[in-house]
Amino acid sequence: MITTGVMDNRFTEDWALRNSRSYLAFKLGQKDYAVNILKVKKVIEMQTMNFLQQTLAYFAGVIDLRGQHIPVINLRKKFNISYIGVTERYYVLIVDFASYSTQAVMGIMVDSIPKLVIIKSDDIDDRPGQIADHETTFVLGKAKVGERLTTLLDINQVLNQDELQQIRQILSTANTQ
Higher pLDDT, 13 or 26: 26
pLDDT band at 7 (very low <50, low <70, confident <90, very high): very low
> What pLDDT, on a 0 to 100 scale, did the predictor assign at position 100?
63
pLDDT digits (tens, 9 = 90+) for 36-91: 998 999 998 887 777 777 668 888 888 888 888 888 998 888 888 876 654 567 89
pLDDT band at 176 (very low <50, low <70, confident <90, very high): low
Task: For the chain, give the mean pLDDT.
Answer: 77
Closest CA to 89 of 103, 110, 105: 110
CB 106 within 8 A of CB 95: yes
> What pLDDT, on a 0 to 100 scale, did the predictor assign at position 35?
92
Closest CA to 21 of 145, 113, 107, 138: 145
Q: Is the pLDDT of residue 177 over 70?
A: no
CB 91 within 8 A of CB 45: yes
Neighbouring residues of 138: CB distance < 8 A, sequence distance ≥ 6: 153, 154, 155, 157, 158
CB 171 within 8 A of CB 71: yes
Entry pTM = 0.77
- The structural domains of the chain, ordered by start, are 11-176 (2.40.50.180)
